[in-house]
Amino acid sequence: MLNTETPSTRHPDLDSYATPALLDAFIADQNAAVAAVQAAAPQLAAAVDAALPRIRAGGRLLYAGAGTSGRLGVLDSVELYPTFSWPRERAVAVIAGGASAMFVAVEGAEDDRAQGAADLAALQPGPNDVALLLAASGATPYVLGAIEAARAAGALTIGFANNPGAPVAAQADIGITLDTGPEVISGSTRLKAGTSQKIALNTFSSALMVRLNKVYGNLMVDLKATNAKLVRRALALTVRASGASEADAQAALAQCDQHVKTALVMLGRGVGADEARALLDAADGSVSRALHP
């Protein structure tokens, strides 16, 4: 029996717990998710380093999964645009059962290997693309079909699974095993197995974005200021990183469509928006190098 399906021996009387003890059991069990990702750090680092040149060459991040894993892939792909101004067309996710499976479970769809291959192939993957294949069991047919299609197109494949020796990890170019063990509720991989996948995806994509110069220091300076909250955040980040007054920061941001990176170079180098953009382009998007060539 797979580790993720094996009944936990730690809480055999879970249904009799009082609410505080019940919550303690669920919360404490999540520690295993963090430990599993920490153990997989070398493989995650290898994945970031292998993905980086492909993404720099214009490749995309392509996600495929089913159920909870599929929804986590969609979540990671969607959040890269507002957080890092990553183009939507360069982070694309497919999920077993189609887009509606984000909201209504389509359980049988995960068993369709041919559909997984077809959905991934429909994205027209190429050698510069990076496919992230997610399956808690590590043997989901839909995801295995997606791996086949990605590999056939020459894309880099990175497989995430929660069981040692899983086909999803073994068949990918880089396998990342997040060995979270049995769940508190037996087989419910939306618990710590899902948590570990969320942490791993956050870690991978955030590290990749840092390497792509989407961050200045530890500040999120390439965000898309698409609502009032993010406009305020852009102003606060510009003031903090530049040391300029709020009025000067606001004036700079108004001239560059609220783009923090551009505003920082404008303020730091005493140039206009067009020249600041040119300096950033020459520095491969690095604020540090644009400010201190």
What is the three-class DSSP state of 158? Answer: strand
Cβ within 8 Å of residue 184, ≥6 positions away: 8, 10, 11, 14, 25, 26, 29, 191, 192
Of 79, 89, 148, 246, which one is the catalytic site residue?
A: 79
Q: How far apart are CA 112 and CA 260, in angstroms?
A: 45
CB 225 within 8 A of CB 235: no
Of 5, 89, 107, 110, which one is the catalytic site residue?
A: 110
Whether 79 sits among the annotated catalytic residues: the reply is yes
CB 133 within 8 A of CB 64: yes
Q: How far apart are CA 74 and CA 63, in angstroms?
A: 7
What is the three-class DSSP state of 92? Answer: strand
CB 132 within 8 A of CB 102: no
Tokens of 26: 């669920």
Nearest to 204 by CA among 105, 253, 132: 132
Alpha helices in 122-227 (DSSP H): 141-152, 167-171, 192-211
CA-only gyration radius of the chain, Å: 21
Whether 275 sits among the annotated catalytic residues: the reply is no
Catalytic residues: 79, 110
